[in-house]
């Protein structure tokens, strides 16, 4: 296959930085700078307030953006509903301006009926059961604030009059918003209606392809160009020899505080030799993925990055 069919990004371990107790931001910067030098297309960060403590997403991207020149800077994923839409629109516009238009906002919703995830909403005085509707309204409000001046809005969750955000994002039309959805019909329809991109960690490439086809059909029915939506897969992996695989499985069990089997049952995790792992990536690319966001299950993230880059180069996938 040609090397132009998909781009590769990496997740920066902002959660591990807290879990390990390391107070060294240079490890994050080094990883981002090395990813850019190796030809990766993007770097991503996760988001959580209290459920899974980590370094703040937008602050991290601002710091990384100052140390890089080319890589896109994304969130995978960001709990936008925890933020007020005017404040978030302003922060993202400034971040996009500071980084010369390199930001992609991947938005998710938190896990339903998970006490720690619901607690994040409750401590801010928000209703976790309304998070989907809050997010939809927030996406529409932010886009208006990025594209228009003197905006007034009377919605279910936010009401305001005469608001102008400056600076506007560097990207025309504002920061692209990618929506998370696995194989859940309302989520796929939301991507088709509102998403500039689609993020997921669907465990089967075949199911990924079916969901992508549904999104394209829903988009066409809503008079949107299906090609305007960027499909991506969030891909957790441990690649290499037996020791690397065992360490990766241990890493994930520790991260989620449950057995690796339970983790692998709940989300996409691929372990094995680099060829086996990349074979899996290629199945998603063949099913339509245009971006692969790689999350290394490894305590030595830099070593995992180097090994992954070499393996992707050998397969002609990384320029």
Closest CA to 81 of 144, 15, 146, 125: 125
**Residue-wise pLDDT tens digits, 59-106:** 999 999 999 999 999 999 999 999 999 999 999 999 999 999 999 999
Domains of the chain (ranges; CATH) run 7-314 (3.20.20.30)
Separation between Cα atoms, residue 272 and residue 277, nearest integer Å: 6
**Which pLDDT score, from 0 to 100, does residue 12 have?**
98
This prediction has a pTM of 0.96
**Which pLDDT score, from 0 to 100, does residue 2 have?**
40
**Residue-wise pLDDT tens digits, 17-37:** 898 887 789 999 999 999 999
Distances in Å between the Cα of 159 and the Cα atoms of 24, 135, 163 are: 41, 15, 11
The string of DSSP codes covering 18-42 is HHTT---THHHHHHHHHHHHHT--E
């Amino acid at each position: 296959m040609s090397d132009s069919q998909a781009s590769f990004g990496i997740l920066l371990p902002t959660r591990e930085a807290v879990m390990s107790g390391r107070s060294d931001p240079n490890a994050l910067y080094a990883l981002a700078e090395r990813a850019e030098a190796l030809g990766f297309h993007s770097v991503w960060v996760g988001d959580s307030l209290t459920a899974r403590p980590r370094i703040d997403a937008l602050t991290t991207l601002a710091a990384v953006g100052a140390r890089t020149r080319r890589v896109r800077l994304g969130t995978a994923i960001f709990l936008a509903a925890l933020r007020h839409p005017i404040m978030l629109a302003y922060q993202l516009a400034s971040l996009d301006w500071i980084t010369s238009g390199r930001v992609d906002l991947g938005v998710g919703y938190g896990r339903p009926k998970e006490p720690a995830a619901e607690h994040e909403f409750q401590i801010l005085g928000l209703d976790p059961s309304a998070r989907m509707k809050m997010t939809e309204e927030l996406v529409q409000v932010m886009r208006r604030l990025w594209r228009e001046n003197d905006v007034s809005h009377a919605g279910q969750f936010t009401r305001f009059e005469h608001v102008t955000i400056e600076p506007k994002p560097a990207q025309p039309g504002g920061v692209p918003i990618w929506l998370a959805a696995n194989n859940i019909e309302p989520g796929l329809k939301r991507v088709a209606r509102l998403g500039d991109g689609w993020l997921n960690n669907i465990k089967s490439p075949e199911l990924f392809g079916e969901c992508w086809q549904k999104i394209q059909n829903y988009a066409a029915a809503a008079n949107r160009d299906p090609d305007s939506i960027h499909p991506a897969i969030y891909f957790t992996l441990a690649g290499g020899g037996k020791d690397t695989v065992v360490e990766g499985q241990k890493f994930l069990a520790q991260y989620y505080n449950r057995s690796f089997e339970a983790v692998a049952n709940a989300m996409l995790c691929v372990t094995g030799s680099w060829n086996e792992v990349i074979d899996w990536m290629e199945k998603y690319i063949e099913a339509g993925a245009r971006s692969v966001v790689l999350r290394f299950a490894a305590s030595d993230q830099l070593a995992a990055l180097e090994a992954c880059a070499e393996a992707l180069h050998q397969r002609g996938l990384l320029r």
